Structures are given as structure tokens and as C-alpha cells.
Amino acid sequence: MSVLVVGSISLDTVETPVGKVTDVVGGSTTYFSCAASYFAPVRIVGIVGEDFPRAEIEFLKARQVDLTGLKIVPGKTFRWGGKYFDNMNQRDTLFTELNVFETFNPQLPPAYRDSEYVFLANIQPDLQLNVLNQVERPQFVAMDTMNYWIAGMLSELKKTLARVNLLVINDQEVQELSGEDNVLQGARQILKMGPQAIVVKRGEYGAQLITPTAIFWVPAYPVEHLCDPTGAGDTFAGGLMGYLARTSDFSEANLRRAIVYGSALASFCVEDFSINRIKNLTLNQIRQRFLGLLDMIKCDEGEPL
Amino acid sequence: MSVLVVGSISLDTVETPVGKVTDVVGGSTTYFSCAASYFAPVRIVGIVGEDFPRAEIEFLKARQVDLTGLKIVPGKTFRWGGKYFDNMNQRDTLFTELNVFETFNPQLPPAYRDSEYVFLANIQPDLQLNVLNQVERPQFVAMDTMNYWIAGMLSELKKTLARVNLLVINDQEVQELSGEDNVLQGARQILKMGPQAIVVKRGEYGAQLITPTAIFWVPAYPVEHLCDPTGAGDTFAGGLMGYLARTSDFSEANLRRAIVYGSALASFCVEDFSINRIKNLTLNQIRQRFLGLLDMIKCDEGEPL
């Protein structure tokens, strides 16, 4: 089953304690597609300018990513610049140049309308809903969002939220969206807004699944050489959704596995700039890191007391 | 097998957003013994003043805690006062009155010398070593420490550390002791100082076991009504050591279970002031919370990719 993703495609300039890169490929759609493509065919809806590197488009094609929905228009590609501090937990946005992304009005090619798995990456919530409305029979829909939309377009955001199966956000966004300091209690408030499940990305502490009846927590895989956290969240979502699409199984047990696969992919992502590290993985490498994560949470019941 | 513990016994005055209590029983030894006593007989080495409440001594006796090593001397019991801030992750110490604890020179009663399980709670490192030297054939020794000893008695601390099987500390102390920002890398440095395993207490993020060959992470049990975090770490250690003593099994698999039992006990501790919540638990309540924690990290391998 293929996965449809709508979001940003950008050229990023990123500085971390490890180094600096200029105009490298980035954006939620890019990271998501690259990660998801290991598990399932991916369909992109996005927009770039004529300056977008041809080689990156060829790379996505080579990974079987369907680019029918990618518009290449006159003008410059969306650009983002950021700088990370010593511990890489926090960053400053240095600039945001929307360029051709400013007028992005995502339209689905007719061939995409039968998509069953949909990821609405972090864009304006009414555009997310607009995309979802163009899908005929979505089976499993996940979305991301950010503080900017929570603060400025809350009612639109809630309309989209009411239509999705899974919300994937970070702990701070849970607090902002719910008004609750406690992340678990906040997530439970958000569950009442529509989604059946919430995955909270907690950075170095891993990721947490919260449903009305269960909690699951997988730690972050401890990478030896953290290079650049940019895109880790979208790579996580790509691994998660790709695995769900591959297995066509939305059971809680499989959602847990999907989150561990997402964490495995994200742990590769942060080992290099841009999508460099996740461009050429093998399924065996991904599986080994998945099993490594499982080993970090393995514990049996032992004898009754 | 019985567990020997040496540490503080105090009367605490604690203020949290939930309320305030004055001169309630506290101290590492108290929390530790109470938790460990669910799994194994406990032997205490400690000191209190004549003002220490008789009822608390009777309570410990009723829990089969051996008080042969408890000295009751003229003067006042050690007193500590603290205040927690809104999120309860940080606290201010308002006062520390050592009183009779100032001259504490722990001596083992002869009947304690055959102890096989030893917990050296957070006291001066040369006193910890002095206690350990009085144990004839220790089988499994764990210790705690704090920033004060790391900064001021590092060489003594390292001598004790070289003699223990397990170090139980928090993430900030790992950073201070190792000089490493990254907790995992820091813990690996500390493993070279002697202990075969380190358990890092990470507050709301749970606890992490680090050995030369494995990492295990269990989240904190999400308590509905957090009241007072005081003593959670020592309660955790008590559950952990008590379970190890009960099962006489130091395998990594059993150490993982012991950490989950420790987390289960700690989650009860924080639901009330002092030892109130952990005074009268049933083994079934503890087991249910243990199983609840296991459910939060349960994930199977699924099909190979």
C-alpha cells in the first residue's frame, strides 16, 4: 500500500557543533519520503522552485517515490536556516524564506485519490484538511503540527485533528495544545479532540504512544555521533507510516512496532546532515537497529511474587 | 537473604504544591527499608535522637526490619526541610540540621557481618567503605552518592566505587562524576571506575540500566496524583535491592526485573508524603504496577523485513 505525504520541501542551511551545511535538501516531505520508502511506495504532494537540484529529484525517483504531485515552478525553493546549541536540544531559526512555498495550494493528481495511508506533515491546518478531503477512502491518517498553528489557527487545527487517526507531535506541543503541563494528561485531553492515538516525540528520551487504554514508551537509540537533529521527527513519522502501510495492520501491537521502526530510522537521520545517512540504508541495517531498541526495553515477568 | 542498609534517618519538613508536612519520618534508610521489606528481611544501621517517634520504630519492627544496628542517642534526630516548585522536578533545601547524625560512625552489630546484600545509601564515602569493610562476604553491593561528595571527596568516593557491583545515581550526578554531558557516555566512563552496572534515575523519564554490554530503560509509572517526590530514589533502590535479595539472582535479566520493581515501588512513594503510601501495600498491588510498567515497554519483533 502506498503512503501519501503532503508537506514542505526545502533547501536548508544548518549549523551544529559538528559543522555547517548550506542549501542542502530538507523539508518534512523529503525526510518523510526517504524514510517511508524503505517500507512502502510513497506519493509526494509538494512544490519546489526551478533551482531545486535535479540530482535530488532523481534520487527520490530512484527510491520509487511517485513525484506526479510535485510541482516545479518558476522561482526559488523554500529555504530555512537554523543553528543548534551545544546539547542540540534547542535551536534558533536564523531565517525562513517561503519563496514558492508561500502560494502552496496542494492538489492531488487523480491517481493519488485512492491513497489509503496519508501523512499530513506540518503545514497550515486548512491545507491539511483540503488534502484529506481529496482522498476518497483514507484508511489511516496521521498528522503533525506546530506551535505556530496551535497559537494562530486553533479552530482550523481542531477540524483537521477531528479527522485523523494519529497525531504525531512533540511534548511541548502537547502542552500548548492541551493547556496541561503534564504530558500524559495533556495527551488524554487531545485524544478527546478526535485522534485514536497520539505519538509524543520526546527527543533524547524517545517516543511515547498514548491511546485511551495504553501507553507505550520506546527510548531514543543512543547514537555515538550526533551530527544534526534536523528532520528526525519527519524521518520518525516516515518510518512509522511506511511500516504501517507495509503491514496493513493498525492494531496497537503493530503501532508499537511501527513506532520502534520510526525511532530506528530517526536514529540514522541524526548521524549526518540532511538526508545523507538515510539515503542508502539496507533493510537489514534498519532491522538490526529495531532489534537493538527492543533489547533496550526487554524485560520478562519473572515468577509471581 | 537479608539486605543491609546504611544511611540517614530523619524528620523532614516538606512543602509541595499539594501541601506541607512537618517533622515526618524520612531519610534514605527509612524509605529504602520500607520498600525492601516487601521482598526480603532488612537490617538497618543508623542513628536517631531520643525525639524520634516511638510509633515509627514500632512500624519498622512490624515490617520485620532488624533494628539491632539502630542507635538511639541523647539529642535531636537529623532534620531536613525542603520545598518543591510547581513541576516538582526541582527543589530548594530550606534547612539541614545534622544533630545526632553529625557524629554518625556506623558500626555493624556482629550479627550483621554475614550480610550478603548491602546498600550504601548517600553518606560520606569513607563511611560507606568503612561499613563495607565490616561485611565478611558481601555478594552484591550497591551504592548511592551525591554532588556534594563528588565535588568534595572524590578520591574517597572512587575507593568505595571500586568495591561495589552497582551504582545508583541520577543523571546530573553522572555528568558531574564523569565530566561527560552525554549521560550514556558518562555512565560508560564510570563503569571503568569499578561497578559492573549503573542505574541512572531520570525522574519523570524513568530509570536506565547501563552495563558494558547492555542498556535497559523503563519509564516512570505515570501517577495520577503526584504529591511529594521525596524519597523516591531510595524507595526505588529498596525495591531493586529487595527483589535481588529475594531472588538471589544477579543476572542481567533479573536486574532488569529488579529495576522495574524499584520503579513500581517509587511510583507509590510519590503519591503521598513521607512513607505513608508505601507503609501498607500488598504484594499484589506491587505486582500489578510491575506488570503495568512491563505493558508500557512491551513490543514483539514482528515479521522480519
Amino acid identity of residue A39, one-letter, is: F
With an 8 Å Cβ cutoff, are B260 and A299 in contact?
Answer: yes
Whether B66 and B42 have beta carbons less than 8 Å apart is answered as: yes
In order of A228, B199, B249, the CA distances from B256 in angstroms are: 32, 10, 11
Whether A138 and A125 have beta carbons less than 8 Å apart is answered as: no
Calpha distance A119→A242 (Å, rounded): 10
Tell me whether B225 touches chain A (CB under 8 Å): no
User: Is beta strand B3-6 parallel, antiparallel or unpaired with respect to B117-120?
Assistant: parallel
Residue B223: closest C-alpha in chain A: A184
Residues of A in contact with B294 (CB under 8 A): 299, 301
Q: Which residues in chain B land under pLDDT 50?
A: none
Amino acid identity of residue A167, one-letter, is: L
pLDDT digits (tens, 9 = 90+) for B258-302: 999 999 999 999 999 999 999 999 999 999 999 999 999 999 999
Tell me whether A282 touches chain B (CB under 8 Å): no
With an 8 Å Cβ cutoff, are A300 and B257 in contact?
Answer: yes
Residue A202: closest C-alpha in chain B: B205
Tell me whether B85 touches chain A (CB under 8 Å): no
Amino acid identity of residue B94, one-letter, is: L
Tell me whether B287 touches chain A (CB under 8 Å): yes
Calpha distance B283→B280 (Å, rounded): 10
Tell me whether B302 touches chain A (CB under 8 Å): yes
pLDDT digits (tens, 9 = 90+) for A223-260: 988 999 999 999 999 999 999 999 999 999 999 999 99
Mutant choice from A267, A290, A299 vs B, greatest count of B C-beta within 10 A:
A299
Tell me whether A172 touches chain B (CB under 8 Å): no
Mutant choice from A38, A217, A259 vs B, greatest count of B C-beta within 10 A:
A217
Among candidates A87, A216, A297 on the partner chain, residue whose Cβ is nearest the Cβ of B217: A297
| pLDDT for the residue numbered B1 | 85
| Backbone dihedral region for residue B184 (phi beyond 0: left; psi -120 to 50: alpha; all else: beta) | alpha
With an 8 Å Cβ cutoff, are A302 and B254 in contact?
Answer: yes
pLDDT digits (tens, 9 = 90+) for A141-162: 999 999 999 999 999 999 999 9
| pLDDT for the residue numbered B225 | 87
- Furthest CA-CA distance within chain B: 70
pLDDT digits (tens, 9 = 90+) for A24-50: 999 999 999 999 999 999 999 999 999
Indicate whether A1 pLDDT > 90. no
Q: What does A70-102 look like in DSSP terms, one character per residue?
A: EEEESSPPPEEEEEE-TTSS-EEEEEEE-GGGG
| pLDDT for the residue numbered A89 | 78
| pLDDT for the residue numbered B90 | 85
Q: To the nearest whole angstrom, how far is the Cα of A168 from the nearest Cα of chain B?
A: 18
Q: To the nearest whole angstrom, how far is the Cα of A262 from the nearest Cα of chain B?
A: 14
Grid cell at residue A212: 485511551
Residues of B in contact with A291 (CB under 8 A): 301
Among candidates A208, A256, A287 on the partner chain, residue whose Cβ is nearest the Cβ of B304: A287
In chain A, domain spans: 3-295
Query: Which residue from A156, A160, A153 is spatially nearest to A132, judged by alpha carbons?
Result: A160
| pLDDT for the residue numbered A204 | 86
* φ/ψ (deg, to 5) at A270: -80, -5
The set of residues, in sequence order, having a beta carbon less than 8 Å from that of B154 and lying 6+ positions away, is none
| pLDDT for the residue numbered A10 | 98
| pLDDT for the residue numbered A159 | 98
Mutant choice from A297, A300, A303 vs B, greatest count of B C-beta within 10 A:
A297
Residue A216: closest C-alpha in chain B: B296
**Which three-class secondary structure state does DSSP give residue B216?**
strand
Calpha distance A287→B202 (Å, rounded): 28
pTM of the predicted model as reported, rounded to 2 decimal places: 0.95
Whether A100 and A77 have beta carbons less than 8 Å apart is answered as: yes
Query: Which residue from A256, A166, A260, A168 is spatially nearest to A220, judged by alpha carbons?
Result: A260
Architecture per CATH, domain B3-296, reads as 3-Layer(aba) Sandwich (3.40)
Size of interface A-B (CB pairs under 8 A): 87
Give this complex's ipTM. Answer: 0.94
Average pLDDT for A133-146: 97
| pLDDT for the residue numbered B204 | 86
| pLDDT for the residue numbered B181 | 87
* φ/ψ (deg, to 5) at B178: -100, -20
Q: Which CATH class is domain A3-295?
A: alpha beta
Calpha distance A22→A7 (Å, rounded): 21
